[in-house]
Structure 1
Amino acid sequence: MLNALEIFTTVVVGVMVGVEFSVAFFVKAILDGLPDDSAQRGRSHGGRLLGAVMPVWYFTSLALVAVWAVAGWQDHGAGLVVTAAALLILSVIMSIVLLVPINNRGKTWTVDNRPADWKQQMNRWDRFHYVRVAVIIAAFALLVAALT
C-alpha cells in the first residue's frame, strides 16, 4: 500500500511541476509574443483558470507528501520526503504571500482598466514564479530520490 502511495504522490507532484514549468517557460513565451492587448487578456484568463485549480493541486500534493512522510517514517528515504514536504510548504507560503496578490489583481484586469504598470507587475510575478518552480522541482527530485 505504501508503494502505491509513493508512486501516486510522485506522479501528482510531477504533473504539477510540469504544469508550472510549462507556465514559466512556454506559456509566458507564447503570451509575450502576442500583441499587448492579447497578452494581457491571456494572462487574466490564465490567472482565473489556474488560480482556481492550482491551490487545490498544491494542497493535495502537500497532503499526499505528508501522509507519505508519516506512513514511511521508518523507511530509508523518510528524510528526503520530509525535506520535500518542507519545500512544498515553502512553495505554498511563497504563493500566498508573493504570487496570489499579484494574480488576484491581474485576473480582474481588462484592456480598459489595467494599470499603467501592468507589465512590471506581471514581470514581478514571473520572477517569483521562476523561484517557486525551482523549489517544487527540488521537492519533486527529492521524492524521486526517496523512491530508490
Structure 2
Amino acid sequence: MQDALAVVTVVVAGMMVGVEFAVAVFVNPILDRLPDNGGLDARSDGARVLGRVMPFWYISSVVLGTVWAALTWGDEGASLVAAGSALLVLSVVMSLVVLVPINSRVATWSQEGVPADWKEQVGRWDRFHYVRVGIIVLAFALFVVALV
C-alpha cells in the first residue's frame, strides 16, 4: 500500500508540476507575444479555469505527501517526503498570500475593462509564479528521490 501511495503521490504532484511549468515557460510567454494584447482574454480565461482546478490539485498533493511521510516515518526517505510536503505547504501559502489575489483580479478582466497597470500585474504574477514553480519542482524531486 505504501508503494502505491508513493507512486500516486509522485504522479499527482508530477502532473501538477508539469502544468505549472508549462504555464510559466510556454503558455504565458506565448500569450504575451500575441499582437494587440491578444493574450489578455486567454490569460483571463486561464485564471478562471485553473483558479478552480489548481487548489484541489495542490491540496491533494500536500495531503498525499503528508500521508506518505506519516506512514513511512522513521524509514529511509521519509524525511525527504516530509521536506517535499513542507515545500508544497509553502507553495500553497505563497499562492494564497501573493498569487491568488492577483489571479482573482485577472479572472475578471476583458479587453473592454482592464486596469492601466495590467501588464505590471501579470508580470508580478509571473515572477512569483516562477518562484512557486521552483519550489514545487524541488518538492517533486524530493518525492522522486524518496520513491527510488
Shorter-chain TM-score bucket reads over 0.9
Determine the structure 2 residue equivalent to 1:112: 112
Q: How high is the TM-score relative to the length of structure 2?
A: 0.98
2:98 is aligned with 1:98: yes
Root mean square deviation, CA, Å: 0.8
Name the CA distance, whole Å, in 2 between partners of 1:56 and 1:28. 22
Could you tell me how far 1:36 is from its partner in structure 2? 3.4
Could you tell me how far 1:33 is from its partner in structure 2? 1.6
Determine the structure 2 residue equivalent to 1:88: 88
Determine the structure 2 residue equivalent to 1:48: 48
2:75 is aligned with 1:75: yes
Q: Deviations over 1:34-77 (max 9, x none)?
A: 12332111110000010000000000000000110111113100
CA 36–95 in structure 1, closer or farther in 2 if over 3 Å, else same: farther
How many pairs does the alignment contain? 148
Name the CA distance, whole Å, in 2 between partners of 1:68 and 1:114. 44
Q: Deviations over 1:79-103 (max 9, x none)?
A: 1011001100000001000000000
Gaps of 5+ in 1: none
Could you tell me how far 1:119 is from its partner in structure 2? 0.4
Which of structure 1's runs of 4+ aligned residues deviate more than 6 A? Answer: none
Determine the structure 2 residue equivalent to 1:61: 61
Name the CA distance, whole Å, in 1 between partners of 2:127 and 2:145. 27
Determine the structure 2 residue equivalent to 1:124: 124
Gaps of 5+ in 2: none
Q: Deviations over 1:7-58 (max 9, x none)?
A: 1100100010000000000101210121233211111000001000000000
Determine the structure 1 residue equivalent to 2:31: 31
Aligned identity (percent) is 58
Within-5 A mapping of 1:1-20: 1-20=1-20
Q: Which amino acid aligns with 2:74?
A: Q
Name the CA distance, whole Å, in 2 between partners of 1:27 and 1:58. 20
Q: How high is the TM-score relative to the length of structure 1?
A: 0.98
